[in-house]
Amino acid sequence: MPNDKRSSPNPFKRHPLLYVLTATILIISVVCLAVAISPINKYDIDHNILFVISAIYLLAGCSFFLWIYQREQDQQFVSVLPGVIDEVKKVSKVYYNNTSAIQENSESVQKLHNSIEQEIGKLVESNKNIEKILIEMRQEKRQLQDELDNWNQSCIEFFELLRRGWETEGNNECLNVFEKNIQEFEFIVKKRGFSPIKPSKTNKFDEAEHEFKDDEESSDVSPGYILRCKRWGYRSGSKVLRRAEVILAKKPETGVDSVQEEIHQ
């Protein structure tokens, strides 16, 4: 509450007659007291009576002065009371507004808390569903991988069956049939990313697709290059399932080299 800095009005200016009357009574009481104390008594009045009269006037003056002072205090209180009431109303209004704001904020916080709990529940349920879907997808992926592995193995076995028949067949007509079947089957599986690795003579050796088994002397193939394929390899997409087994060519030994080897031996 702000302090009231207004100067209080002079009470004598507000009630001059009351203060004059009080001062007069006090003066009379003082005169009577002086006469009672004085040894000279011109009026032949008993000193005790004068004391009583002085005391009565003095008591009356003090009482009257106190009444005026109390009345002035009451009037000041009454004049200040409306301002105090206004200040109390303002404080009450501010308190009510703050209380309402706190209550509204509490309700908003509670609503937000409830909505967050609902969202957390939804997220937990969604996470469970996602985990369930992931488990099902892993199972499906494993099944598909198993099926793909089985399909790749079936293709390899069928190619090997055709290869063995093609390599052991002595009849030219049947040999042409085997070659045609191999080409047709290779064309079919190539659509699904499966293909045999069939290195040809004079092809460059590639460790990623070829597996070295042995080397033989050759005069028409450069050393280190493929002389012949011993067994086909296979790939599925970019993954090599089995490398092709190959025989590499090496430089033929001359007579001088043979004599030097015998000397060393």
Which one, of 205, 243, 207, 235, lies nearest residue 221 by Cα?
A: 205
| Whole-number Å distance between alpha carbons of 258 and 154 | 48
The C-alpha R_g of the chain, in whole angstroms, comes to 64
Structure tokens at 251: 């430089």
Where do the H-state alpha helices sit in 169-215? Answer: 172-190
Print pLDDT tens along the chain (265 aa): 444 444 555 555 566 666 676 677 667 767 766 666 666 555 555 666 666 766 776 677 677 677 777 777 777 777 777 778 888 888 888 887 787 778 777 888 888 888 888 888 888 888 889 999 999 999 999 999 899 899 999 999 998 888 888 878 767 788 888 888 888 998 999 988 999 999 988 899 999 999 999 999 988 899 989 999 999 999 998 899 999 999 999 988 775 555 455 555 5
Cβ-based burial of 165 (10 A; exposed 0-12, middle 13-18, buried ≥19): middle
Token pair listed for 8:
């209080």
Q: Which of 265, 200, 192, 264 lies closest to 232, judged by CA? A: 200
Global model pTM greater than 0.75: no
